[in-house]
Amino acid sequence: MLNQRIRLLRQARNMSQVELANRLGVTKQSVSNWENDNIQPSIEMLVKLSAFFSVSTDYMLGIESHEYLDVSDLPKEVIAHLRQIIDDLRGNSAQKITV
């Protein structure tokens, strides 16, 4: 499950394995090995991956099926705007959300 999550999250950002490796300070071979389920990232790297992709470690490990985005460092107005975009994408634009 972890290998699939790493690959899907990387691809969702239109990143190559090389780009992800550079951002995390590891080799392309490390990313390839994680995605091919040859080796597992260390706990430290799992935390770094989770932070990079703004998801929980539980999500990365497949314990949790919902993907969450960390918006804690964004202003409330931006968060409200993002919620509206998400509602629009879900087809719930008639539902008003307050922060």
For the stretch 7-59, pLDDT in tens is 999 999 999 999 999 999 999 999 999 999 999 999 999 999 999 998 889 99
Q: Is the pLDDT at 99 greater than 50, yes or no?
A: no
Structural domain for 88, as ranges: 70-99
Number of independent structural domains in the chain: 2
Extract the tokens encoding 18: 């090389």
92 and 57 in a single domain? The answer is no
pTM of the full structure: 0.71
How many angstroms separate the CA atoms of 11 and 90, rounded?
Answer: 22
How many angstroms separate the CA atoms of 58 and 16, rounded?
Answer: 24
57 and 75 in a single domain? The answer is no
CB neighbours (10 Å) of residue 34?
Answer: 24
How many angstroms separate the CA atoms of 57 and 27, rounded?
Answer: 21
12 and 46 in a single domain? The answer is yes
- Quick one: pLDDT band at residue 61, thresholds 50, 70, 90? very high
Q: CA nearest 9: which of 17, 84, 45, 83?
A: 17
41 and 75 in a single domain? The answer is no
CB under 8 Å to 15, separation ≥6 — which residues?
A: 23
6 and 27 in a single domain? The answer is yes
